[in-house]
Amino acid sequence: MIQHRCRHCQAPLEQEVIDLGHQPPSNAYLTAEQLLQPEITYPLKVSVCTSCWLVQLPAHAAATQLFTADYAYFSSTSTSWCAHAERFVAAACERLGLGVETLVVELASNDGYLLQYVQERGIPCLGIEPTAATAEAARQKGIATIERFFGVSLAEELASEGRRADLIVANNVLAHVPDINDFLAGMAILLKPSGQVSIEFPHLLELLLGNQFDTIYHEHYSYIGLATLQLIAGQAGLQLMDVERLPTHGGSLRVWLARRDADQQPSTQAQARIDTVLAAEAAAGLWSVQAFRGFQQRAEATKHALLRFLLEARQRGETVLGYGAAAKGNTLLNYAGVRADLLPVVADKATSKIGRFLPGSHIPVLSPEQWLALQPSQVLVLPWNLAAEVKASFQANPEMLFYRAIPTLESL
């Protein structure tokens, strides 16, 4: 039997958190030709390290297998996410006094969704993005982009060239990194002594409280709380400077880090915010197995509720279609065993997904215009964190009923 070890401290992983069965990578969208070929699946079973309490998925597939050249997630397809990025850039510029003499580096910069706002302000910036399709989209916007995975090696190269950062941004990428130690240590090398790092990630506490099991997929290697991040970042040479709670992705944290060898300390107000989040995690028992009890059963209850909803709608002759070909939706559909007989199609605005098929379920992805022509009476919104945005985009169709898939099936 394979004995997996913690990706941070190397302790044996012996405590299971949840088992969502065998599934294909959630962003491995298929062409019609690929439907005729075998499809690779991996165990989707999460464990928690009882030494450092990092919740994690063993790396069954290498990052190069998951984040391929035709990676289909483009951040700019979400208007609300771009607005979030624009607000962040404005606030970061004020917080750190960024200007034409400074450098902003974004890790996992995707299609330039955030750096475009840095560029608009005339601030030098650099994107680091390993997937070819999104990196090229960023370059089309005039954003300099290095097409590589980030870690100590690349950080040392850039630092040796004099390209140290005043601000490093890493939004929703920390969970995607198989070697979290190398990733954070690279930040400490790339960062100027006076600079700061801003990292956003879905908060483990919110994942558990909100039954957000669908945010578990193979591209997400780690599920992180603030206390664990503070531990890992400290060992990588970074210290916690501040934390903000965000509503994005069902409840995220934005943490600010500085080099431990720098002359920076959290303000009194920042330390109070840090202490508040740490206290909430301690109260929920995140450093004990107690926090994870019942998680599997709650996921099963949601699966059963979804199947009842789809089966009863079909028996009534109603047309239920999906909206949003999101990775989280693929986890949910594959865990529940939903196929095209219960959910015939899914719509998505991303041209990289239209005309393809969802991994595992093989449900076809249509454009919103093609989808609307099918006259759905009920809509299952798979990226539930964008449910309000999706519903608002169909105000001209008040007859359609919208349902949020997670945390529990509910009408909007």
| pLDDT tens-digit readout, 96-139 | 999 999 999 999 999 999 999 999 999 999 999 998 889 999 99
Supply φ then ψ for residue 377, to 5 degrees: -90, -25
Q: What is the pTM of this model?
A: 0.89
In this structure, what DSSP letter does residue 364 have?
B
Q: Which residue carries 């993005």 as its tokens? A: 129
- Can you read off the two tokens belonging to residue 412? 């909007």
Helix (H) or strand (E) holding 18: strand 15-23
CB atoms within 10 A of CB 59: 16
CATH topology of domain 296-411: Rossmann fold (3.40.50)
* Separation CA 374–CA 347 (nearest Å): 11
Cα–Cα nearest to 238, from 281, 270, 195: 195
In this structure, what DSSP letter does residue 382 have?
S
289-336 pLDDT, tens digit each? 999 999 999 999 999 999 999 999 999 999 999 999 999 999 999 999
| Residue 33 confidence (pLDDT) | 96
Q: E strands, 180-237, where?
A: 191-202, 222-223
Q: Do domains 75-291 and 296-411 have the same CATH topology?
A: yes
Asked whether the beta carbons of 249 and 172 are under 8 A apart, the reply is yes
> In angstroms, what CA-CA distances link 242 with 188, 197, 199, 262?
17, 10, 11, 15
* Separation CA 152–CA 189 (nearest Å): 7
CATH topology of domain 75-291: Rossmann fold (3.40.50)
At residue 330, the 3 state secondary structure works out as: helix
Question: What is the mean pLDDT for each group of 10 consecutive residues in the chain (412 residues)?
Answer: 87 96 94 95 96 89 54 69 93 96 96 95 96 92 96 98 97 94 98 97 96 93 96 97 93 97 95 98 94 96 95 94 95 97 95 95 97 94 89 87 82 74
Cα–Cα nearest to 80, from 327, 330, 388: 388
CB atoms within 10 A of CB 279: 10
Rg (CA), the chain: 21
Supply φ then ψ for residue 200, to 5 degrees: -110, 140
Asked whether the beta carbons of 289 and 314 are under 8 A apart, the reply is no
For the chain, the domains span 75-291, 296-411
Name the amino acid, one letter, at 328.
K
